[in-house]
């Protein structure tokens, strides 16, 4: 079994969320883990499925237009203007998919931290017994399996997030969605917190190889799957709609 490494793509916020969801729901090789790294056509923010849109809109920066989309996963408000974004799908029945949310979260972030350490970044995962930190929002950290209803992702580190060992600053966080098809893991690395010396092409290779080892697979580049075009268009329209964005 391989870990399928999909081609890099750039999209709008709604398109990126639709593609991540399709990788969970419609991937042709249902028993194979799959990974993609992607970026954004324009300045973008995404926010968690359970968050209140009123909080999100009040928190967004006022300088310029923002591409905004609610994610299918949980978590807080994420600023994608200077991040490194990825999605990982682990199929139903894989041992890593069957772990509790906190454990799968910790496993993936351990791989990410190791890939950063290979480039000299003192990255570690925040242990459960670490002190709880307060961010500018005044909200306390919550366990990784909980849904952050009103939070800003990089203001504070939650348990098992990737942090800078010296400063304690949060480097990477993620959110999960689990259904009958498997586990969707949407993650974001805040580049400024990782430091200026990271070679991101090398990081991509190291991270995917660490993930493949944790999954008991080998990383293998593959072409983009042939999704049904009408379904793709329909999902992009769904994630772009005010009904989706404003439903909470």
Domains along the chain with CATH numbers: 2-245 (3.30.930.10)
Edge-to-edge strand ranges of the sheet holding 44-47: 67-70, 44-47, 78-79
- Which tens digits make up the pLDDT trace of 4-42? 999 999 999 999 999 999 999 999 999 999 999 999 999
Between 41-55, 135-149, 223-237, the lowest mean confidence (pLDDT) is in 135-149
47, 79 contact by CB (below 8 A): no
Q: Which of 80-89, 139-148, 209-218 has the lowest mean pLDDT?
A: 139-148
pLDDT beyond 50 at 145: no
Residue 244 has pLDDT above 60, yes or no: yes
Instruction: Quick: pLDDT tens for 192-227.
Output: 999 999 999 999 999 999 999 999 999 999 999 999
Determine the longest span between alpha carbons in the chain, in angstroms: 49
Among the ranges given (46-50, 63-67, 94-98, 223-227), the one the predictor scored with the smallest mean pLDDT: 63-67
For 155, which DSSP code? Answer: G
Q: Span 93-100, mean pLDDT?
A: 92
CB 48 within 8 A of CB 71: yes
- Which residue do the tokens 């979260």 mark? 105
């Amino acid at each position: 079994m391989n870990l399928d490494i999909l081609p890099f793509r750039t999209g709008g916020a709604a398109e990126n969320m639709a593609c991540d969801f399709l990788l969970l729901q419609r991937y042709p090789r249902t028993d194979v883990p799959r990974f993609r790294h992607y970026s954004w056509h324009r300045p973008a923010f995404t926010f968690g499925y359970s968050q209140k849109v009123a909080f999100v809109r009040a928190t967004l920066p006022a300088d310029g237009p923002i591409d905004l989309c609610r994610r299918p996963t949980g978590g807080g408000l994420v600023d994608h203007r200077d991040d490194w974004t990825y999605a990982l799908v682990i199929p139903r029945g894989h041992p890593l998919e069957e772990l509790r949310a906190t454990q799968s979260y910790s496993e993936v972030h351990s791989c990410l931290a190791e890939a950063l350490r290979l480039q000299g970044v003192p990255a570690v995962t925040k242990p459960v017994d670490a002190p709880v930190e307060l961010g500018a929002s005044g909200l306390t950290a919550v366990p990784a399996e909980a849904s952050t209803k009103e939070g800003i992702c990089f203001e504070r580190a939650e348990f098992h997030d990737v942090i800078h060992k010296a400063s304690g600053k949060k480097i990477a966080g993620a959110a999960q969605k689990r259904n009958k098809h498997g586990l969707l893991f949407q993650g974001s690395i805040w580049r400024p917190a990782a430091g200026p010396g990271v070679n991101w092409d090398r990081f991509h290779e190291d991270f995917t190889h660490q993930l493949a080892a944790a999954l008991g697979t080998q990383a293998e580049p593959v072409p983009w799957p042939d999704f049904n075009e009408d379904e793709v268009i329909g999902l992009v329209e769904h994630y772009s709609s005010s009904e989706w964005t404003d439903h909470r």
